[in-house]
Each structure stands twice: as structure tokens, then as C-alpha cells.
Amino acid sequence: MSSTEMSELRRTIGRLRQCVGALRARYGEAPAVRRLANDVERLDIDAGDLAQQQVPAQSKPSDPPEVVKIPDTPYDPSLWEGADDEGVGGYHRDQR
């Protein structure tokens, strides 16, 4: 993230903080206002962490991701032997 982008992010977070302050003046310590204030604080913390990391911008990978082919053939039934069918009524021992 460039310094221009970081400055714009900080400026926007500051503006959000002002808006939440106006909401707090109007609605008091309503739960929704407290959550918004917490969200703005979290954004500020994360922006600070991002500024300290100096992570280079992600580039597109030159190689396409490896494609894993999944066969259409049925699985071996013994693979599921003794497994519980969720939502079907719980675990049942051999019902053969």
C-alpha cells in the first residue's frame, strides 16, 4: 500500500470516527453505537498493523493453479462403514 493510499485510509478512518462521535452524541451509548465505535477502533488498529508490515503488493501468479481431478466413480462403501449420517437420526450400528 502506497503512502498516498495509507494517508487516504487514515483520513477516512478519522472521518468515520467523527461520524460515530456524532451518532454517540445523538443516540448515547446504544449497543449499535458501541459496536460501530469498536469497528472503527479495529479498523484503526488494522491500518496501523498494515502500515508497519510494509507488505509488498500481491502479484498475479505466473503459473495457473494445479487442477485436481476428482473421479466420478463412487467411493468404496467400506470407507464410510461405521460413520454417522448427520441429520438422519444419529449413529446406528450395523443394520444389515
- Give the residue-averaged pLDDT of 61-82: 82
Range scoring the smallest mean pLDDT among 8-17, 23-32, 48-57, 79-88 = 79-88
Calpha distance 70→58 (Å, rounded): 30
Give the pLDDT confidence of 31-53 residue by residue, as tens digits: 999 999 999 999 999 999 988 88
pLDDT of 9: 93
pLDDT of 13: 95
**Hunting for cell 449499535 — which residue is that?**
32
pTM of the entire structure?
0.54
pLDDT at 1 > cutoff 70:
no
DSSP structural state of residue 73 = S
What is the CB neighbour count within 10 angstroms for residue 19? 12
